[in-house]
Amino acid sequence: MIEAELQTLNFDIRGQICPSALLTALRELNRHRPSLKKGTVRLQFLTDNRDATITIPGAANNMGYVVEVKKEDSYYLVIVSPNLN
Amino acid sequence: MNNPQIILIACNLLLGLAAGFIMHRSDFCIAGMFRDLFLFRSTTMLKNLLLLILTSMILFEVARRSGLLFIFPFPLLGSASVTNLLGGCLFGIGMVLAGGCVVGTLYKFGAGSVTSAFTLLGLILGSFLYSEFHPWWAGLAKQTTIFSGRVTIPQILDVDPGVIVLIFAFVGAAWLVKEVRKSGLSRPAMIDNYLQPWKASLLLSVIGLLSFAAVGMPLGITTAYAKLGAFVVNSLGPEHVAKLGYFAGQPLNYNIPHLNLALRGGAGAQLDGIALVQFPLIGGIILGAFFSAMAAREFHLHFHVPARQYVSALCGGLIMGLAARMAPACNVWHLLGGLPILGAQSILFLVGLLPGAWLGTLVLTKTVLSR
């Protein structure tokens, strides 16, 4: 499946001052827009900021991406994947 | 220590625990509410804050009329002056740079935020530094006081507060119905144990009421920071602290009849009425947030953060500490306590807070978070 070809880019934004989590995510989402549109990358944000688990998916959804939030041991993983439809 | 004092401490500890837990679960960051208005044109959280203020307004007035409030208005809330406006503005700048307001910093600290520890340090420093120019600032406040002797808008206009609250209640209810219909108050959460902010608003208004009825004051903690600073400097050399008149002042001076307790106190390096009320509150908020973070398996200390953010946290805290003494008092005291009883000081504080938060957001994005 196409899933296997996805390159995962990790961004560790844990512990940062608000609103750094969202601003960093927005910056990276914009920077990697070409690859996201082509469907070759997936962005993963490691955050401990609860607010970011709402705002990042909100922004990413608005841009047309697929978002998943996973709970890891002491933080959250916000995974933004290209919309492959 | 006697029984009434222990009861008061327990009371404030419980109120703090509840507030800390609730605010952590719903990420009720008031600094973020104003900041995100300017940064992202986001208004959802501000609407929830409005719900909190409206609910508190109604609850407080009903309580007052029912005789549940043994003191009204509450102590340490004075007549309006230009210092409320200026203090509010400075506070707005500081809270955005710090990444959280005074209470926000506490619950984030309890949940494991290392930058918040720097903010706390800044808060204590700033609160203490205020004492160096207190006489001049207090003079300015006195010279620019308007409607001296009157604290609330109803008092200034000589009207029954119930009339004004009723108007706000009707307009507020109409607004609320409209918002609920389009889910304007809820936030789409993708994690477990997220407390919707509207629930937090309702709970916090009840907590505010309980504090007002039991202690005589709504939630407030910033004098305690000046006191902590006084303790530290006192241990290094009491002569300096003694020279600064601010620490000798005892503005807190009232009685709690149902506890048969007389509360006296100020910002000085002594365990007094201020310490009795605010220290347990501070401790409670930190602990409440800690429990919440632990229960949600979120507690962790992350140190790998850009250096600039530590600086921003410290400076923001310092500015906030100063502003909280200048205003006087912080956003929670004014927005959750003073505003619901239409305190003129609190209205001016809010008016100053807005441009301050705007400026703080500008500085934050252009310097601290720029690439």
Q: What is the ipTM of this complex?
A: 0.91
Nearest to B119, CA basis, from B360, B314, B254: B314
pLDDT-derived band at B232 (thresholds 50, 70, 90) equals confident
Q: Which domain holds residue B346?
A: 3-368
Which residues on B lie below 8 Å from A58 (Cβ)?
188
For B186, residues 6+ apart whose C-beta sits below 8 A from its C-beta are: B44, B196, B197, B198
CB atoms closer than 10 angstroms to residue A52: 26
pTM: 0.95
pLDDT band at B224 (very low <50, low <70, confident <90, very high): very high
Domains: count for chain A: 1
The answer to whether the beta carbons of residues B265 and B272 sit under 8 Å apart is yes
- Total structural domains in chain B? 1
**CB distance from A12 to chain B under 8 Å?**
yes
Tell me whether A27 touches chain B (CB under 8 Å). yes
A20 to chain B nearest CA, in Å? 7
Enumerate the residues of chain B whose CB falls inside 8 A of the CB of residue A71.
Answer: 191-192, 297
**Rounded mean pLDDT of B212-220?**
95
Q: In Å, how far is B31's CA from the nearest CA of chain A?
A: 10
Which pLDDT value is given to residue B355? Answer: 97
Q: How sure is the predictor about B1, in pLDDT bands with cuts at 50, 70 and 90? A: low
| List of chain A residues whose C-beta atoms are within 8 Å of the C-beta of residue B114 | 15
Cα dihedral value B126, B128, B130, B132, nearest 10: -130
Q: For A21-38, how does the pLDDT look when each residue is reduced to its tens digit (9 = 90+)?
A: 999 999 999 999 999 999
Mean pLDDT of the residues in chain A: 91
Range of the domain at A74: 2-81
Q: What are the φ/ψ torsions at residue A28 (nearest 5 degrees)?
A: -70, -35
Low-confidence winner among B68-82, B237-251, B295-309 (lowest mean pLDDT): B237-251
Contact criterion met (CB < 8 Å) for B29 and A51: yes
Write the CATH number for A17.
Answer: 3.30.110.40
CA B26, CA B20: separation in Å to the nearest integer?
10
Interface test with B, best of A13, A14, A16, A18 (most B CBs within 10 A): A18
